Structure 1
Amino acid sequence: MNRFPSVRTRGLTRRHFLIGGAGATVALLAGCADGSGGDTGAGASGAPAAEGFPTSVDHQFGTTELDRAPERVVALGWGDGDTLLALGVVPVASVDWFRAYDDGFGPWARERRGDGEVEVLTGPEFSPEGILAQRPDLVTMTKSDNDRSVYEMFAELVPTLSGPATDISYGTHWRDQTRLIAEVLGRPEEGQALIGEVEDAFADARARYPQFEGRTCSVVWWDEASYAAYVEGDTRVDTLRDLGFVNSPAIEELRGGDGFTVDVSREEAGLLEADVCVVVSMQPAERIEQDTLLQGTAMAREGRMIVLSDADAQNAFSMGTVLSLPYALDLLLPQLAEALAD
């Protein structure tokens, strides 16, 4: 099940890029170093390499190389914008996956964004021409649906960074996302330091809340028609696992394919049972409280179900980046502890 924006590719070919797009491709090629496109570097021919460059980063679809620090980065991957900001780079365009913020970034990232002008991409589909009109010298899509054709479409024209090989769409772990982007920017040490800070936050949380260890959890997307339970490899589940929880075995038994959720019918709400359940939704909490089937489960009756009604908490938890995770933990940890209190 895929609930995220995507790049619209139907009917588009390299020829369309080269002759159309309201001049987007012409502008892009004019700004590229050697006019050849592809992952061959964004620096001006013969320009001296900056510290940390050239860079060469392997990912699931090939290798991305840069001769110098990029100046116009488009963040297409989920959470890539956060990660760039954490590394001191303000992207020229970034995806607001949940259309939650006018400026495209949550409160955990706003200070780092500063006054830089960022084009906010909302979808549900993105126009490649619109993206290329930003004249990027780097496109990042480290956390995506792993569509090779989309990667190749951009990589023909501009250095493009994909994520590691994963068996689940949008399944790039925040550690890998941070590492890959830091490496292509020539800042691997900064990336590792950021990773270490978040790992320390998780270690501190596990020390403060030993009652989480080994307890089962479920994370559920709620809508009117059905439920969707997230599986291991999804950011939300991985966050709870990093706190010591174990995703519900009943949910894991339902998984198949490369999706990050499994569908659960309303009549099977009992399959969502766990020691603690976290519910996320685009709907108001009041609607979820009126769901008699879900509210009839033992976890709901006993106060072990957490509805993340705070939009910032929900977005930070769902995005799962080096910037959003500490923010999410501050809001989520007390609720998890209360849910498991005797």
Structure 2
Amino acid sequence: MLHAPARRPLRRVTALAALMTTTALLLTGCGASTEAKPAAEEPTTGVVIEHAHGSTNIVEKPKRIVALGWMSPDVVAALGENPVGIEEVWGAGESGYQPWFEEFVTEEYGETPEVIPYADEGPNYEAIKELKPDLILSLYSGITDVEYERLSEIAPTVPYIEGPWNPGTWQDMTRTIGKAMWQDEKAEELIGETEELIETLADEHPEFDDKTFVWGVALNEGATDLGVYLDYDPRVRITEELGFKSTPAMKSFFETAEGDNWYTGVSLENLDEVEADLFAAWAGSKDEGEYTVNNKIVARWQPIAAKSYVIYGDEAEASALSAPTVLSLQAMLPKYVDDLADALEGKPTISGK
């Protein structure tokens, strides 16, 4: 589903399609802390970020930042620095940039960062080194101990905090990167502004209150399961913050989920047992969305029969909600809310080419 490794093109994983990916256990804490690091003679005040591979000391406010994977580039730009380099990720257009990021950095800084070419395996160390970074951020990634060590030889590196593909909530990531950039206060301002937007949009739509929903994945041709997300997934959390309630079937979703997955599958034969007023999903294309709602079994399911569904076959729209940031939410939430409101009135959305 959307939480696939960001350095490679998205690909479906079995019947569920692991899109973008974060395990998005987006309820975990960021694990960042600040402390003084004594030097032999002259004490140097630094920021220390504790993470899954150890700890990283950032002794000076960074200016040349390489932001790898999803989410990090948005936060760096919003906090006042245009990254010197980013990786191309799923959901980026032909330019290599996600649209809200490209618009922001163009307006704010007058130029876009260099797009780091793909390497055969792991990070493109040579391309990163040529950018002369003083900080490398890779919070939404699956970098190994060896990769972390090699990146750290180039510049102080902050990888994932808790585990692979788990950046924490968008608030946590903003705070961690704010700490690393010596911009704690600005990070809190950005979080506050975005949370205020969510609250305002929710207040404008009291009809969302207590309506039940399922967030999932459009069907592949021949699929016998419908992919659905668990309640700690970012898409689900954002929708709940707007006033909706997760389906009462969420408990059964957890019972069938494997390991630390943030998604599971529901057999189409049992879909009628899943209570929901609305269905939201991403699709690989508009045709895939149409195929899903026209499936004979899915078409009889409550939210589909009522035409109460929103399916994003547009990569950028799906990406904005799947790996949310202070930039992507500001760009996408108003449209998402309008689409949800229309769906509750029986006016569905299926986007994409």
Instruction: Give matches, 1:1-342, under 5 Å.
Output: 4-5=4-5, 54-114=46-106, 115-120=111-116, 126-130=122-126, 132-134=128-130, 135-145=132-142, 150-155=147-152, 157-165=154-162, 169-170=165-166, 172-224=168-220, 225=223, 226-248=225-247, 249=250, 250-270=252-272, 273-284=275-286, 285-341=289-345
- Checking the alignment, whether the CA contact within 8 Å between 2:67 and 2:85 is kept in structure 1 is yes
Q: Deviations over 1:129-188 (max 9, x none)?
A: 35544443322122234755644453355311134436x843521001100001110111
Identity of aligned residues (%): 27
Taking the aligned partners of 1:266 and 1:275, their CA distance within structure 2 comes to: 17
- Checking the alignment, whether the CA contact within 8 Å between 2:86 and 2:113 is kept in structure 1 is no
Q: Which amino acid aligns with 1:275?
A: D
| Shift in alpha-carbon separation, 1:338–1:116, aligned structure 2, 3 A | closer
Q: Which amino acid aligns with 2:281?
A: V
Q: Deviations over 1:248-281 (max 9, x none)?
A: 3243343342122113344444465422110101
Taking the aligned partners of 1:155 and 1:271, their CA distance within structure 2 comes to: 51
- Checking the alignment, whether the CA contact within 8 Å between 2:66 and 2:86 is kept in structure 1 is yes
Per the alignment, in what secondary structure is the counterpart of residue 154 of structure 1? helix
Q: CA deviation at 1:282?
A: 1.6
Q: Deviations over 1:51-82 (max 9, x none)?
A: xx732223344322212233432222421111
- Checking the alignment, whether the CA contact within 8 Å between 1:86 and 1:322 is kept in structure 2 is yes
Taking the aligned partners of 1:318 and 1:311, their CA distance within structure 2 comes to: 10
Per the alignment, in what secondary structure is the counterpart of residue 256 of structure 2? coil
- Checking the alignment, whether the CA contact within 8 Å between 2:284 and 2:313 is kept in structure 1 is no
- Checking the alignment, whether the CA contact within 8 Å between 1:276 and 1:305 is kept in structure 2 is yes
Q: Which amino acid aligns with 1:141?
A: S
- Checking the alignment, whether the CA contact within 8 Å between 1:212 and 1:243 is kept in structure 2 is yes
Taking the aligned partners of 1:6 and 1:315, their CA distance within structure 2 comes to: 11
Taking the aligned partners of 1:124 and 1:179, their CA distance within structure 2 comes to: 32
Per the alignment, in what secondary structure is the counterpart of residue 65 of structure 1? strand
Taking the aligned partners of 2:124 and 2:279, their CA distance within structure 1 comes to: 38
The alignment's TM-score, normalised by the length of structure 2, stands at 0.73
Q: Which amino acid aligns with 2:134?
A: D
Taking the aligned partners of 1:123 and 1:206, their CA distance within structure 2 comes to: 43
| Shift in alpha-carbon separation, 1:123–1:268, aligned structure 2, 3 A | farther
Per the alignment, in what secondary structure is the counterpart of residue 214 of structure 2? strand
Q: CA deviation at 1:339?
A: 2.5
Q: CA deviation at 1:97?
A: 2.6
Q: Which amino acid aligns with 1:189?
A: E
Per the alignment, in what secondary structure is the counterpart of residue 220 of structure 1? strand
- Checking the alignment, whether the CA contact within 8 Å between 1:231 and 1:247 is kept in structure 2 is no
Q: CA deviation at 1:90?
A: 1.9
Per the alignment, in what secondary structure is the counterpart of residue 295 of structure 1? helix
User: How many aligned residue pairs are there?
Assistant: 301
Taking the aligned partners of 1:197 and 1:332, their CA distance within structure 2 comes to: 18
Q: Which amino acid aligns with 1:230?
A: Y
Q: CA deviation at 1:101?
A: 1.4
The alignment's TM-score, normalised by the length of structure 1, stands at 0.76
Taking the aligned partners of 1:149 and 1:261, their CA distance within structure 2 comes to: 29
Per the alignment, in what secondary structure is the counterpart of residue 292 of structure 1? coil
- Checking the alignment, whether the CA contact within 8 Å between 2:230 and 2:263 is kept in structure 1 is yes
| Shift in alpha-carbon separation, 1:327–1:70, aligned structure 2, 3 A | same
Taking the aligned partners of 2:91 and 2:117, their CA distance within structure 1 comes to: 9
- Checking the alignment, whether the CA contact within 8 Å between 1:170 and 1:260 is kept in structure 2 is no
Taking the aligned partners of 1:81 and 1:71, their CA distance within structure 2 comes to: 14
| Shift in alpha-carbon separation, 1:174–1:6, aligned structure 2, 3 A | closer
Taking the aligned partners of 1:130 and 1:287, their CA distance within structure 2 comes to: 44
Taking the aligned partners of 1:112 and 1:324, their CA distance within structure 2 comes to: 10
Task: State the match for 1:40 in structure 2.
Answer: none
| Shift in alpha-carbon separation, 1:155–1:296, aligned structure 2, 3 A | farther
- Checking the alignment, whether the CA contact within 8 Å between 2:215 and 2:236 is kept in structure 1 is yes
Per the alignment, in what secondary structure is the counterpart of residue 103 of structure 1? coil
